[in-house]
């Protein structure tokens, strides 16, 4: 019998972020706590983009089980799955979260299934389809309820804007993160490194807080974490005070202040390098560049960067490296820049 398809959707109006819905949808391990028909989901494998999960679901007293491969597309808020073993001959589907009109989100949930027992599946036909539809309706309803609950919960605790870089300990490792805001319940920050998003230990000042990521937007590097226990108002005030007064730059900049040639598109341009950091270079130049992730050479080192700011009046240009340089590479580049002798270079370039 051909695959049968059932689909459903839910709309949440208002200030609802796709990330919040994504967090709930993509965390299968919690389904059993808020979906009546889901008995258990065992996460067998999980990477940021793929997973394998084992499902135990009861549809009107009929226990069903299967193992599926899951494909997480966080950029598009789409989760696809396909069974590899279990009661169904095949069951596949997808969750998708989209913006809804001007404000709000729309969640789609589609399932295609093939029970695979000849005769019985034909006889059951529309009866099973109705039950599957009721089942996915109840699942999406549970997601909606959970989302509404978490939104309501989240709004109970006011957020304090920080907007500064700080050194924080994330899972016992000091990292530079741009702290967007903090509340008694959680914190939002930008960080582009990797870490275990499910079991987070944040240490700031003397306060160690266990948390889990509500969402981890790998594309935009923004992360919202939820504290496992609400912190007190006193602790929050102390945190806000510390984060506000102990901010650091994202990356320390090394002042260079000398003329150097930049090799770009087979031409050499003499620029005055003001400073450099693992994120990029600030220099002065009379003319204009049009960089879009292009290769150039500085002090004999090939680099890939894009122009991020060009101030005509002061003739300063800031370019950002396409990928932040790691510590070893940056130290080597810095050493070569500092050792660079313009006279020698001029001779080699035939100035």
Partner 1 sequence: MDNESEKLKNTKVAFVAHPADMEMYRSYIRFLKPDKTYDDKLLLKLFEWSPSYKVTEWTNLTFDGKSFFDAMFVMVPFLPEMKDIRLKKIVEKIDQALAIASEQQCKVAALGAFTSIVLQGQEKNFAQKHNINLTSGNTLTAATVVRSIEQISAKLGVALQDTTLGIVGASGDIGSACVSYFQNKVKTMVLTARSESSLQTMVKNLDSKPECTLEITTDNKAAVSKSDIVIFVTSSYVPMFTQNDFKPGTIVCDASAPLNVTISDKPRKDVFIYHGGILSLPFSLDPGFDIGLASPYTFYGCQIEGALMALDSTLPCSWGRGNITKEKLGSFLQKLYTVPRLDISYSVGKHTYSEEELENYKKEFLHSKNASFRRCA
Binding of partner 1 by 3 (CB under 8 A): no
Looking at 11, 13, 29, 63, which residue binds partner 1 (CB under 8 A)? 63
Question: Rounded to the nearest whole angstrom, what is the least distance from the CB of residue 107 to partner 1 in the complex?
Answer: 28
Binding of partner 1 by 67 (CB under 8 A): no
Question: Rounded to the nearest whole angstrom, what is the least distance from the CB of residue 112 to partner 1 in the complex?
Answer: 19
Binding-residue pattern over the window 78 to 107 for partner 1, x denoting contact by CB under 8 A: ---------x--------------------
Binding of partner 1 by 343 (CB under 8 A): no
Binding of partner 1 by 42 (CB under 8 A): no
Q: Is 290:309 a contact under the CB 8 Å cutoff?
A: no
Q: Is 94:80 a contact under the CB 8 Å cutoff?
A: yes
- Find the largest Cα–Cα distance for the chain: 89
Binding of partner 1 by 124 (CB under 8 A): yes
Binding of partner 1 by 46 (CB under 8 A): no
* Sheet of 4-12, strands arranged across: 4-12, 105-114, 90-99, 78-86, 62-73, 50-59, 38-46
Number of residues that bind partner 1 (CB under 8 A): 18
Cα–Cα distance, 253 to 221 (Å, whole number): 22
Looking at 64, 139, 143, 231, which residue binds partner 1 (CB under 8 A)? 64
User: Which stretches within the chain are classed as H helix?
Assistant: 18-26, 31-34, 120-155, 233-245, 327-339, 342-349
Binding of partner 1 by 123 (CB under 8 A): yes
Query: Which CB atom, from 65 or from 94, has the smaller least distance to partner 1?
Result: 65
Please enumerate in sequence order all residues whose Cβ is within 8 A of that of 99, keeping only pairs 6 or more positions apart, or say none.
Answer: 18, 105, 106
Looking at 33, 47, 60, 341, which residue binds partner 1 (CB under 8 A)? 60
Looking at 11, 44, 62, 301, which residue binds partner 1 (CB under 8 A)? 62
3-state secondary structure of 205: coil
- List beta partners, residue 275: 255, 282
> Residue numbers of the site for partner 1 (CB under 8 A)?
60-65, 87, 115-120, 123-124, 127-128, 131
């Amino acid at each position: 019998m051909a695959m049968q398809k059932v689909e459903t959707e839910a709309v949440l109006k208002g200030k609802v972020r796709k990330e919040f819905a994504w967090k709930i949808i993509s965390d299968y391990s919690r389904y059993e706590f808020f979906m009546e028909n889901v008995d258990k989901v065992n996460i067998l494998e999980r990477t940021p983009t793929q997973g394998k999960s084992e499902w135990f679901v009861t549809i009107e007293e009929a226990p069903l089980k299967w193992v599926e491969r899951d494909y997480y597309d966080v950029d598009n808020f789409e989760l696809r799955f396909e069974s590899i073993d279990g009661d169904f001959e095949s069951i596949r589907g997808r969750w998708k979260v989209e913006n809804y009109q001007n404000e709000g989100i729309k969640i789609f949930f589609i399932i295609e299934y093939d029970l695979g027992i000849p005769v019985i599946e034909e006889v059951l036909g529309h009866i099973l389809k109705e039950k599957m539809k009721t089942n996915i309706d109840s699942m999406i309803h549970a997601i909606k309820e959970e989302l509404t609950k978490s939104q309501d919960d989240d709004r109970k605790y006011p957020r304090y804007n920080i907007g500064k870089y700080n050194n924080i300990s994330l899972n016992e490792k000091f990292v530079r993160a741009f702290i967007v805001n903090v509340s008694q319940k959680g914190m939002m920050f930008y960080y582009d490194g990797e870490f275990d998003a499910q079991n987070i230990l944040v240490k700031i000042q003397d306060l160690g807080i266990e948390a889990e990521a509500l969402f981890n937007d790998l594309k935009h590097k923004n992360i919202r974490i939820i504290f496992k226990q609400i912190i007190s108002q006193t602790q929050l005030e102390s945190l806000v005070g510390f984060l506000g007064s102990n901010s650091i730059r994202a990356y320390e900049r090394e002042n260079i202040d000398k003329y150097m040639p930049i090799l770009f598109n087979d031409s050499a341009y003499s620029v005055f390098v003001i400073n450099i950091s693992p994120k990029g270079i600030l220099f002065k130049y009379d003319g204009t560049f049009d960089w879009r992730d292009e290769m150039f050479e500085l002090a004999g080192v090939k680099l890939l960067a894009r122009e991020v700011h060009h101030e005509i009046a002061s003739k300063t240009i800031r370019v950002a490296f396409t990928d932040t340089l790691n510590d070893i590479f940056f130290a080597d580049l810095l050493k070569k820049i500092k050792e660079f002798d313009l006279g020698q270079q001029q001779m080699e370039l035939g100035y």
